């Protein structure tokens, strides 16, 4: 009988503020760590990180028309990005709902965490052009 191996995922917080008691850096675990990683990947432009190919064209797409077609391109770009650079998740679905009156997209990303028996994880956030 095969047994499933459970994984625990940890990332450090990006504010680099040490714990006042232990002096250690803050840690994000499991769902929160992966959620932060996913959001950071979506918001990273190509060649923004030194010596790395991590990133996407999503930020550039936000300055075009805010419509269903562009939302589909953004969703495809995010899905490919996450499948390539976030090996801790699987069964990724992405929806980018345009809000043309506000020139933004409502992003809904759902995924399963590899090695954990929890239900589908997901979160929503607003993706908007920043200058």
Task: Return the structure tokens found at 18.
Answer: 């040490």
User: Which pLDDT value is given to residue 56?
Assistant: 83
User: Per DSSP, which regions of 36-129 are E strands?
Assistant: 89-99, 104-113, 121-128
User: Which pLDDT value is given to residue 10?
Assistant: 67
Q: Is the dihedral of CA 113, 53, 104, 129 positive or negative?
A: positive
Q: pLDDT per position in the chain (131 positions), as tens?
A: 445 556 776 666 766 677 778 877 777 667 788 888 888 888 888 878 777 788 888 888 888 888 899 999 999 999 999 999 989 899 999 999 999 998 899 999 999 988 877 778 888 999 887 75
**CB within 8 A of 127, min separation 6: which ones?**
42, 58, 62, 74, 96, 104, 105, 106, 107
Strands 104-113 and 121-128 come out as antiparallel
User: Which pLDDT value is given to residue 1?
Assistant: 45
Tell whether 54 is covered by a domain: yes
Tell whether 2 is covered by a domain: no
Tell whether 43 is covered by a domain: yes
Q: Which among 47, 33, 7, 31 is positioned nearest to 119, based on CA atoms?
A: 31
Tell whether 97 is covered by a domain: yes
Tell whether 3 is covered by a domain: no
User: Which pLDDT value is given to residue 94?
Assistant: 95
User: Which pLDDT value is given to residue 72?
Assistant: 93
Tell whether 102 is covered by a domain: yes
Tell whether 5 is covered by a domain: no
Tell whether 72 is covered by a domain: yes
For 109-131, what is each residue's pLDDT tens digit? Answer: 999 988 877 778 888 999 887 75
CATH of the domain at 101: 3.10.450.40
Number of domains in the chain: 1
Domain that holds residue 107: 10-128
User: Which pLDDT value is given to residue 110?
Assistant: 94
């Amino acid at each position: 009988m095969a047994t499933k191996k459970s994984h625990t995922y940890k990332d450090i917080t990006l504010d680099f503020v040490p714990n006042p008691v232990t002096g250690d850096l803050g840690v994000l675990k499991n769902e929160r760590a992966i959620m932060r990683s996913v959001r950071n990947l979506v918001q990273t432009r190509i060649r923004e990180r030194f010596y790395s190919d991590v990133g996407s064209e999503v930020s550039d797409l936000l300055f075009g028309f805010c419509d269903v077609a562009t939302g589909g391109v953004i969703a495809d770009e995010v899905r490919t990005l996450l499948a390539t650079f976030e090996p801790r998740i699987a069964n990724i679905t992405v929806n980018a709902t345009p809000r043309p009156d506000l020139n933004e997209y409502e992003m809904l990303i759902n995924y399963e965490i590899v090695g954990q028996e929890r239900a589908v994880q997901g979160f929503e956030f607003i993706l908007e052009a920043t200058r």
